[in-house]
Amino acid sequence: MPQSLAKLYIHLIFSTKHRERLLMSSVRSSLHAYLAAVLKNQECPTLKVGGTSDHAHILFRLSKNRALAQVVEDLKTSSSKWLKTQARALQSFHWQNGYGGFSVSPAEVGSVAAYIERQEAHLRVMSFHEEYRKFLREYEVEYDERYVWD
């Protein structure tokens, strides 16, 4: 086959270091736009960005020319540097070391986008830890609890 074709949807989740609640609503919408712009520059169209004061959820299409680990590294490094310029309280900002990347079926893209849209409501019912563990169980990801959190 002479062409390389792919359409891979990813639901990416990562948190602030130690789940610090630093992403106040005053900066969150700008951060979401910034994350989408970084992904666009990596040929990874964004479908939805959301989150709360301590973590982000991003639904995007992974470029056939990029590895997920590299996309995430660039995304977190760039956005961390940007966040540090946005407010004095963010000058020592860091994302957690790890991330969760989950494949999404084209048939589920709409429901995942809706889930991301309702993040504030979800976290009134369960903590980020509970939510993240739920994803790990649903996707049957083996993990060691000692190393999931930093």
pLDDT at 150: 72
Q: According to the model, what pLDDT value does residue 44 have?
A: 98
Q: What is the pLDDT of residue 77?
A: 98
Which pLDDT does position 1 carry in this prediction? Answer: 57
Domain ranges of the chain: 8-148
Beta-carbon neighbour count of residue 147 at 10 Å?
9
CA distance 121 to 106: 24
Rounded-to-integer distance, Cα 133 and Cα 84, Å: 29
**Which CATH architecture best describes the domain 8-148?**
2-Layer Sandwich (3.30)
Q: What is the pLDDT of residue 143?
A: 86
60: its two tokens: 């995007």
pLDDT of residue 15: 95
pTM of the model: 0.92
The predicted pLDDT at position 3 comes to 87
Averages of pLDDT over each 10 residues, the chain, 150 residues = 88 95 94 98 97 96 97 98 95 94 97 92 81 90 83
Q: Are 33 and 62 in contact (CB under 8 A)?
A: no
